Structure 1
Amino acid sequence: MSTLFIGLMSGTSVDALDAALVDFSNERVPRLIGEKSHIWLADERQELLALAAGCANEIDRSGRAGQWWSERAAALINELLAEHQLSPSDVRAIGSHGQTLRHRPHSDYPYTLQIGDPCLLAELSGISVVAQFRQRDMAAGGQGAPLVPAFHQAIFAQSERCVVALNLGGIANISVMQPGRGVRGYDTGPASMLLDGWCQRHTSKAYDEDGRWAASGTCHQGLLDALLAMPYFSAPAPKSTGRESFGMSWLERQLVLVGTDIKPEDVQATLLALTATTVADAILREAPSGELILCGGGANNTALCQAIAAKLTHWQCKRSEAYGYPAQAIEAMAFAWLAMRFTQGLSGNVPEVTGARGARVLGGYFPA
């Protein structure tokens, strides 16, 4: 039986669809064979962001987007396999996260909605698909997120000291691995989602490269204080969040409440300070020192990573590349791992992290 799995991930920052081809012949040390990304075209990204924010005719538009999302995913997988001279029959399964449009774990009827048709993906790729991971955890009373801490524990945990894996995606989340204890994990708050959104609005660039625009501005303390007053930041874990709570509309409301005219670059500097502060505060509540592993697309934001490191003077900060795993590939690898766990009948969630009633085998199976 093949030990090769492919993971697919496109997160709340909506910058790219990432695919990771992983060999789990040694589950303790997964081997990343290859990775590839489809950078969302401007019109694709605009449509996905509009659907996530809420828009007119969104049922039909989300149905259509789910189909072309699956087509892009299948094409990406075929390119990845061709680069490594592999055929679909060489891969056991695809773990597909899909594209989150809504995540409402605290609703009267809690739900999470990801588009991307696993049936179409299986048909186009010729590979069986495991999907709907978050829904299974929520069915057991969990928040459906975060799901990556279990994978972080599998590849990063040490016996000597505290290790925190920090994923800087659209939302920042941490996985806390203390020697002799179970992993803890939760979303700390917004990261690239607001930074990218504000940058695109005022510079027409999709993101703030290396955080240079933020570095050109000055943090506005009044705005930062208003943003930090959001109750989510002081709420206990388990907790998860998303664009519903920390989208551009939330930022716009805070700007109105502050009531002063703030230069765009100063707002960007303040948003960077918000992420650095909320991440560092969360980590320091867990342990005074340890090793911090930076993952996700935001790990490429030099100014942001420097701001976080400056607040964690007793922490050794490393990128995930120090462990042999590219920062951008970690989450896609995690969903390959979840697909592998599904095929073995093993749980993929951590109840202490998501709040579920117990460990569950996550996902549903869609055969090729």
Structure 2
Amino acid sequence: MLFVALMSGTSYDGVDVVAAEFTRHADTLRLRPLGHRELAYPDELRDAIAALLPPAATTVEAVCRLDNRLGAVFAEAAAVGVELAGGRADAVVSPGQTVFHWVDGGVTRGTLQLGAPARVAERVRVPVLSDLRAADVAAGGQGAPLVPAFDALLLDPAGGARAALNLGGIANLTVVAPDAPVLGYDVGPANALLDAAARRLLGRPHDTDGARAAAGRVHPALLELLLAEPYYAAPAPKSTGKELFHPGYLDERLAALGKPVAADDVLATLTELTARTVAAECDRHRVVEVVAAGGGVRNRTLMSRLAALGARRWRLRTTAELGVPTQAKEAYAFALLGWLSWHGLPGALPSVTGARRAAVLGSWTPSGPARAAAPPVVPRRLVIDGC
């Protein structure tokens, strides 16, 4: 089967598009990557998304307008994905842009992703899977993270506990260990606060390669304030996003210091925050290896700091060594979730999300008559073609 998958993360800088072919051999599922594109959002669309995110106030009209604007963008992205697949696809997975994740007292009450899936289905004329988080939330789960289903099939824990790390707007960790349930949760901010600082202090969308952070020094008092965030001490399952780690969050901590901090020092401190919080979780789970992906992998300063903190305890490498492009890993993971849902198989892991049961994810927007799926066979292993 040929799946196209889209991914627009908490950094909301663009949409990643992938095409993948899945073939099943007994309980092994083989994924053949067919291509990946990164389609940047125009500044005006990024501003429209930012204007809708907490703690900003908004209106139903603004939500409706953005929902349909994103749907049009995702529709064109899906068409690119169909081209990557050779001009044909069986389905598209379009999880949408998360604009709110409602967590109250540590319990997820709801979640909202925008992206008008009917527009995508109309453009490419194949079924579209969307709203992937809601079923897990309804079953008492966090609705996130969902990528651990991919990690659990891909990583082999035979030689010891291994972790998959995604460095997007938020840093997510999956831990796969011998004879233990899969763990996965949001550790804290990765690019969310770094990009906010770059926009405020540098007038740029991000700190390219972490160059400005490398030129700065960690500010001890600011780091202490940031590390005091209660979220880090909360037990898993847990998930977070820009409803907590937004630009105003950083402004409040800087204001609390009572004196200005140089831009490079702010970036160096935020980089250290991500490195320390991630490394602490890897050490806690006694992992022997960390496999990283996401936009943060491009940040040389962050990756260098993570490698230094893990030296002699765990090895740091990227998913590219496993055949999965680092910038496309989450999109390929959602392609897998689409394959699972197509076959009536659950994609969320209760040990990760805290749900009462494993839920089949998403809502299908049809395009033409429904097609019967083959009888489900639960895969036990994922193999990437070419590796």
TM-score in terms of structure 2 length: 0.90
Give the aligned partner of residue 333 of structure 1: 332
**How many angstroms apart in 1 are the aligned matches of 2:8 and 2:337?**
16
**How many angstroms apart in 1 are the aligned matches of 2:256 and 2:73?**
41
- Residue 82 of structure 1: CA displacement? 2.6
Deviation digits for residues 176-201 of structure 1, max 9, x if unmatched?
01122221011000010110111011
- Residue 57 of structure 1: CA displacement? 4.3
Give the aligned partner of residue 290 of structure 2: 292
- Residue 327 of structure 1: CA displacement? 0.7
The correspondence of residues 252-267 of structure 1 with structure 2, limited to 5 A, is 252-267=251-266
- Residue 106 of structure 1: CA displacement? 2.2
2:200 aligned with 1:196, yes or no? no
2:38 aligned with 1:37, yes or no? yes
Give the aligned partner of residue 50 of structure 1: 51
2:58 aligned with 1:60, yes or no? no
**How many angstroms apart in 2 are the aligned matches of 1:356 and 1:231?**
23
- Residue 156 of structure 1: CA displacement? 2.1
Which amino acid is the alignment partner of residue 149 of structure 1? P
The correspondence of residues 146-157 of structure 1 with structure 2, limited to 5 A, is 146-157=145-156
Give the aligned partner of residue 310 of structure 1: 308
**How many angstroms apart in 2 are the aligned matches of 1:283 and 1:97?**
28
2:182 aligned with 1:183, yes or no? yes
Give the aligned partner of residue 71 of structure 1: 72
**How many angstroms apart in 1 are the aligned matches of 2:128 and 2:134?**
15
- Residue 83 of structure 1: CA displacement? 4.4
**How many angstroms apart in 2 are the aligned matches of 1:143 and 1:297?**
23
- Residue 109 of structure 1: CA displacement? 7.8
- Residue 332 of structure 1: CA displacement? 0.7
The correspondence of residues 232-251 of structure 1 with structure 2, limited to 5 A, is 232-251=231-250
Give the aligned partner of residue 17 of structure 1: 15
Which amino acid is the alignment partner of residue 294 of structure 1? A
Q: Is the Cα–Cα contact under 8 Å of residues 239 and 354 in structure 1 kept in the other structure?
A: yes
Give the aligned partner of residue 299 of structure 2: 301
**How many angstroms apart in 1 are the aligned matches of 2:83 and 2:352?**
38
SS in 2 for 1:349: coil
- Residue 359 of structure 1: CA displacement? 0.8
**How many angstroms apart in 2 are the aligned matches of 1:83 and 1:341?**
21
Which amino acid is the alignment partner of residue 305 of structure 2? A
**How many angstroms apart in 2 are the aligned matches of 1:29 and 1:186?**
26
Q: Which runs of 4+ in 1 moved over 3 A?
A: 26-29, 53-58
SS in 2 for 1:172: strand
SS in 1 for 2:96: strand
Q: Is the Cα–Cα contact under 8 Å of residues 108 and 141 in structure 2 kept in the other structure?
A: no
**How many angstroms apart in 2 are the aligned matches of 1:362 and 1:354?**
13
Deviation digits for residues 199-222 of structure 1, max 9, x if unmatched?
011222111111001111111000
**How many angstroms apart in 1 are the aligned matches of 2:307 and 2:273?**
14
**Structure 1 vs Structure 2 CA RMSD:** 1.5
TM-score in terms of structure 1 length: 0.95
Q: Cα 1:309–1:58, aligned 2, differ >3 Å: closer, same or farther?
A: farther
SS in 2 for 1:105: strand
Q: Is the Cα–Cα contact under 8 Å of residues 105 and 138 in structure 1 kept in the other structure?
A: no
Shifted more, 260-269 versus 163-172: the winner is 260-269
Deviation digits for residues 255-299 of structure 1, max 9, x if unmatched?
122222211211111111100011001111111x41110111111
Q: Cα 1:56–1:225, aligned 2, differ >3 Å: closer, same or farther?
A: closer
**How many angstroms apart in 1 are the aligned matches of 2:340 and 2:256?**
47
SS in 2 for 1:29: strand
Q: Cα 1:273–1:38, aligned 2, differ >3 Å: closer, same or farther?
A: same
Give the aligned partner of residue 122 of structure 2: 123
Aligned residues: 362
Q: Is the Cα–Cα contact under 8 Å of residues 105 and 144 in structure 1 kept in the other structure?
A: no
Q: Is the Cα–Cα contact under 8 Å of residues 37 and 76 in structure 1 kept in the other structure?
A: no
**How many angstroms apart in 2 are the aligned matches of 1:115 and 1:79?**
20
SS in 1 for 2:95: strand
**How many angstroms apart in 1 are the aligned matches of 2:231 and 2:170?**
13
Which amino acid is the alignment partner of residue 103 of structure 1? H
Shifted more, 353-362 versus 63-72: the winner is 63-72
Deviation digits for residues 314-358 of structure 1, max 9, x if unmatched?
211111100011011111111111111111110111111111001
Q: Is the Cα–Cα contact under 8 Å of residues 194 and 206 in structure 2 kept in the other structure?
A: yes
Q: Is the Cα–Cα contact under 8 Å of residues 55 and 243 in structure 2 kept in the other structure?
A: no
**How many angstroms apart in 2 are the aligned matches of 1:109 and 1:134?**
11
**How many angstroms apart in 1 are the aligned matches of 2:57 and 2:349?**
37
SS in 1 for 2:344: coil
Deviation digits for residues 75-106 of structure 1, max 9, x if unmatched?
1221232345313xxx2211111001100132
Shifted more, 56-65 versus 215-224: the winner is 56-65
Structure with a larger share of its residues in helix: 1
Q: Cα 1:56–1:262, aligned 2, differ >3 Å: closer, same or farther?
A: same
Q: Sequence identity of aligned pairs in percent?
A: 39
Deviation digits for residues 205-250 of structure 1, max 9, x if unmatched?
1111110011111110001001100111111111111111111111
Q: Cα 1:83–1:151, aligned 2, differ >3 Å: closer, same or farther?
A: closer
Q: Which runs of 5+ in 1 are unaligned?
A: none
